[in-house]
Chain A
Amino acid sequence: DADVTQTPRNRITKTGKRIMLECSQTKGHDRMYWYRQDPGLGLRLIYYSFDVKDINKGEISDGYSVSRQAQAKFSLSLESAIPNQTALYFCATMAGGKPDTQYFGPGTRLTVL
């Protein structure tokens, strides 16, 4: 089984709808991240969490919210989706406290019509 999983893998929704993307990990890492990827723009950080009680905004947090329900679960919500939030969304994890690599989920392709 994959260490970092994301659900759903694909989602098409309409403008104004509330959407939740979920991420689960079995790596036992404290740190979790949400990124979005747009063509030609690389990955941009939305939110990150160092533990259940520590949530931090990233570069592009406007229009998004997150919830760290447990060490293993980190959800990203779009309260009222808009078309320019159409993108590929990635969750990632990292062990805390030292320079380390990030482990990415397979991504969720979100289309907002």
Chain B
Amino acid sequence: SQQGEEDPQALSIQEGENATMNCSYKTSINNLQWYRQNSGRGLVHLILIRSNEREKHSGRLRVTLDTSKKSSSLLITASRAADTASYFCATDERAGTALIFGKGTTLSVSS
């Protein structure tokens, strides 16, 4: 069964607004990653946060991890139309093993 569960399933915002997506997972993890998928295309890695980290930044992306709640959030600040895509969280229970993906959040940013 799938490990991660993103929330919300779909999110629509205006350009310039912030977008927040959440991911909950079931078992202990080694690290958590976020990926982006443009419609019908392959996934692209965005950011990785290790289980001993609480927050990480990359450009307009901010990821938090709360292992006590088994949850993570992805914040995209000052959204652009080009951010329109599906976003997936992925976890692994052991380093370097198979990733388990959630069902994704579909983000739509209108100009």
Contacts and interface: CB of A to CB of B under 8 A. Distances in A.
A46 to B, nearest CB: 10
Interface residues on A, range: 20 to 34
A45 B98 contact: yes
Interface stretch (B37-45, B62-70, B74-82): B37-45
A99 B95 contact: yes
A101 B33 contact: yes
Contacts of A43: 43, 88, 101
Contacts of A92: 43
A45 B100 contact: yes
B85 interface: no
A64 interface: no
Interface of B: 1-2, 30-31, 33, 35, 40-45, 48, 50, 88, 90, 92, 95-96, 98-104
- State the 8 A-B residue pairs at the shortest beta-carbon distance, nearest first: A104-B42, A42-B103, A101-B45, A43-B101, A99-B31, A99-B95, A104-B43, A48-B98
Interface of A: 4, 31, 33, 35, 40-45, 48, 56, 58-59, 88, 90, 92, 94, 96-107, 109
